[in-house]
Amino acid sequence: MVIDRFEGEWAVCESQAGTIYHVPRASLPKDAREGDVVVAWGNGRLSVDAAATASRSARVQALHDKLFRD
């Protein structure tokens, strides 16, 4: 899932299927930011998937560049 935004003590996250989850901010890694891809492990621990975040960011940037090129 991807962190869409923070609302106080909650992170609003969206799954690939479009389901919205409200996750306690305290359960995320301290360095988690909006746009990060978050992975839930079987033990309930959440972590940021840096490779998936970078890949997603590159795709979004490419779309932006295609839409708004001079």
Q: What is the pLDDT of residues 3-12, one digit of tens each?
A: 999 999 999 9
The β-bridge partners of 4 are none
Output b/e per residue, 41-67; b: 16+ Cβ within 10 A: eeeeebebeeeebeeeeeeeeeeeeee
| Per-residue confidence (pLDDT) for residue 70, from 0 to 100 | 60
Please write the tens of the pLDDT for every residue from 26-70: 999 999 999 999 998 888 789 999 999 999 999 999 999 999 986
| Per-residue confidence (pLDDT) for residue 21, from 0 to 100 | 95
Domains of the chain, with CATH numbers? 2-67 (2.40.50)
**pLDDT beyond 90 at 25:** yes
**pLDDT beyond 80 at 15:** yes
